[in-house]
Amino acid sequence: MMMDNYMGAYIDRRMESLIDEWQLATKRDVNNFVTRLNALADEIVRLTEVENKASAKLSALEARAKRLEGMTR
């Protein structure tokens, strides 16, 4: 009985560290998992659009640099 009380108190004191160390999910983590997953999916779409725009701008800049390089020769 004394050992159970000691272990219970130890676990209570170290619960946050144990969750982190063992990479356990808490009820809060699980409850908003779908919301966080949807937010990540939306962010991926947004980042893909940004990447596509940046790639198009880079291609235009490269083409312009080649034209300018040809003018200086």
Q: Where are the domains of the chain?
A: 1-26, 32-73
Distance CA 10, CA 7 (A): 5
Residue 67's pLDDT is 92
> 3-state DSSP call for residue 23?
coil
Per-position b or e across 32-52, b if 16+ CB within 10 A of its CB: eeeeeeeeeeeeeeeeeeeee
- pLDDT-derived band of residue 73, with 50, 70 and 90 as boundaries? low
Backbone angles phi, psi at 22, to 5 degrees: -90, 5
Query: Can you give the pTM of this predicted structure?
Result: 0.51
pLDDT, tens only, 2-55: 778 888 899 889 988 988 888 888 888 888 888 999 999 999 999 999 999 999
Residue 59's pLDDT is 97
